[in-house]
Amino acid sequence: MTTATTAHDDLPPRLTRLTFHGPLSEARAAAIVRRLAATRPTTVLDIGCGWGGLMLRLLEAAPHAHGVGLDVHTGDLARGRRTAEARGLAGRVRFAEESAVGTGRGPADVVLCLGASQALDDDLVTALRELRRLVTDGGRVLLGEGFWQRTPTETELSGMWPGASAADHHDLAALVDLAVTAGFRPEWTETASLAEWEEFESAYQADQEVWLAANPAHPLAAETRARLDTHRSSWLTYRGVLGLAYLTLVPATA
């Protein structure tokens, strides 16, 4: 992992304490990688890859595989390239700065889409159909998707993200049913634990919280404080209400 993502030492650091850009523990990641590598993939496609942490681990576990990660965030892609170089994987992976909408990059033996279905389409049903198009028969899709652990109250929704609605997510049963309707069978269904959520959300903010405590008069302090306070209030509101499912999906053949 890289430990610096800013150009100037006096600016707030960004996400250096995160291994994965989501609530994913080392133990769960290792189990997922073992399960996916056992299918002996030769091609891996990572939708909304960020820095591609899980994709790179899968490539290490599947030495004959090549990967492509798609994202539109320049900084995250650069971090992924640096990490791939450091791990000796640069020759087997490409980080492409491009939209995944209508992508022609597939089909691939493994398709990763972790918290990024919106990169394919804002409508989850359409995104699931796209994932079916992008995976080879006999391949696997790993979908990381939000779901409601219980129906949020109107008060809770008002404290989450702007415009948050109960229609933003399904419950877990409905989410899995949508995947089945889109042409998959669920090989494995698991959900992020509260501990994984707390590890992720704390690490997401920690660098900048520490920076802000040491730099309260910095020209960027007010902006940073407002962003941190807003996000912290949001996640402490959806804590225990919003879940994240990791679905390992097998495409059903016609």
Max CA pair span of the chain:
63
pLDDT the model gives residue 6 = 39
Report residue 204 as tokens. 């997401």
pLDDT at 12: 85
How many Å apart are CA 15 and CA 17, to the nearest integer? 5
Planar angle of CA 163, 167, 169, nearest 5 degrees: 100
Tell me if the bond preceding 216 is cis, omega within 30° of 0: no
Asked, for residue 38, whether it belongs to a domain, the answer is: yes
In this structure, is residue 218 part of a structural domain?
Answer: no
Q: Is 204 a member of any domain?
A: no
List of residues 6+ apart from 82 with CB closer than 8 A: 2
User: For 38-89, where are the alpha helices, taking DSSP H only?
Assistant: 53-61, 74-86
Residue written as token pair 């939708």: 47
Domain total in the chain? 1
Tell me the pLDDT tens digit for each residue of 9-40: 677 888 999 999 999 999 999 999 999 999 99
In a domain, 207, yes or no: no
Q: Which amino acid, 225?
A: R
Residue 236 lies in a domain: no
Evaluate whether residue 200 is within a structural domain: no
Give the per-residue pLDDT at 8.
52
- The CATH number of the domain where 179 resides is what? 3.40.50.150
The CA distance from 135 to 45, in Å, is 9
Rounded distance, CA 120 to CA 135, Å? 14
Full domain range(s) for residue 132: 26-151+164-194+241-251
In the numeric block, the tokens 């591609």 are attached to 52
Q: Which residues lie closer than 8 Å to 59 by C-beta, 6 or more apart?
A: 44, 65, 66, 67, 89, 92, 93
Which residues of the chain carry a pLDDT beneath 50? Answer: 1-7
pTM reported for the whole predicted model: 0.93
For residue 7, what pLDDT is reported?
41
The pair of structure tokens assigned to 188 is 């494995």
In a domain, 220, yes or no: no
Tell me, yes or no, whether 221 lies in a domain.
Answer: no
* pLDDT score for 135: 98
Q: Whole-angstrom Cα distance, residue 194 to residue 180?
A: 27
First to last CA, the chain: 42
Residue 9's pLDDT is 60
The reported pLDDT for the residue numbered 254 is 72
